[in-house]
Structure 1
């Protein structure tokens, strides 16, 4: 996760510097908001990747001399069937339609999206065998 963490840290730093410079020279609030949101999203991903690296240790992919056989014994458990992707997609679509059609549909979309996000967050990804 070291390379990925550095990649998103650099992206977050780029958006931070760009949003400050853009905010200084441009009165456009939409551009400033877009750059700030981009900074926050990339910073959240970078923080997650740094935390996962500290929590899970280094992976064999992080070493330059690693070979394929070094990954033997490392297994991840992914459930064969999950409702989370379908609910997340349906909820996101309903929220998008709700922005255009009306607030009531947006609220229904959040109600459908919440179980999908919780399903992603709490499914077992590190099942020990």
Structure 2
């Protein structure tokens, strides 16, 4: 992760220089603000990756003499199947349609969102997927 952290911090320096030059030459506030916000996002991601790299084990991407096969193996745990994201998607779609057509749609979307969120958070605490 060190490499990715350095890449994002380098990108942040480039975006900062671009924002300063663009703001000086164009005198246009919207684009200048967008570039400064992109600089801030790049700095946040870069510092997060650099901070995480100190606590995590050194990966194969940080070793110059590593092979591709050195990074093989289990990456993490991913849920094999879940219906909860579908409930969240339907609830979110209804909520955004509520902004367009009327706030009354939020009465239908809020329960869908809450049921989906509750189900996703507690998915592995009940039913057939319960962990020991």
> Whole-Å Cα distance in 2 between the matches of residues 14 and 93 of structure 1?
40
Gapped regions of structure 1 (runs ≥ 5): 121-129
1:72: Cα distance to partner?
Answer: 6.4
Alignment of 1:1-129 (within 5 A): 1-71=1-71, 75-81=75-81, 83=84, 87=88, 91=92, 98=99, 101=100, 104=103
Select the structure of larger CA radius of gyration. Answer: 2
1:79: Cα distance to partner?
Answer: 2.8
Aligned residues: 111
CA 1:6–1:30: 2 relative to 1, 3 Å? same
The alignment's TM-score, normalised by the length of structure 2, stands at 0.59
> What does the per-residue CA deviation read over 1:69-120, in whole Å, with 9 as the maximum and x for residues that have no partner?
534676522233454697379648955984xx38959x99xx75xx87xx79
> Whole-Å Cα distance in 1 between the matches of residues 60 and 21 of structure 2?
39
Aligned-pair RMSD on alpha carbons? 3.8
CA 1:59–1:96: 2 relative to 1, 3 Å? farther
The alignment's TM-score, normalised by the length of structure 1, stands at 0.60
Moved more, 43-52 or 70-79: 70-79
1:7: Cα distance to partner?
Answer: 1.4
1:53: Cα distance to partner?
Answer: 0.6
> Whole-Å Cα distance in 1 between the matches of residues 28 and 65 of structure 2?
49
DSSP 3-state at the match of 2:17: helix
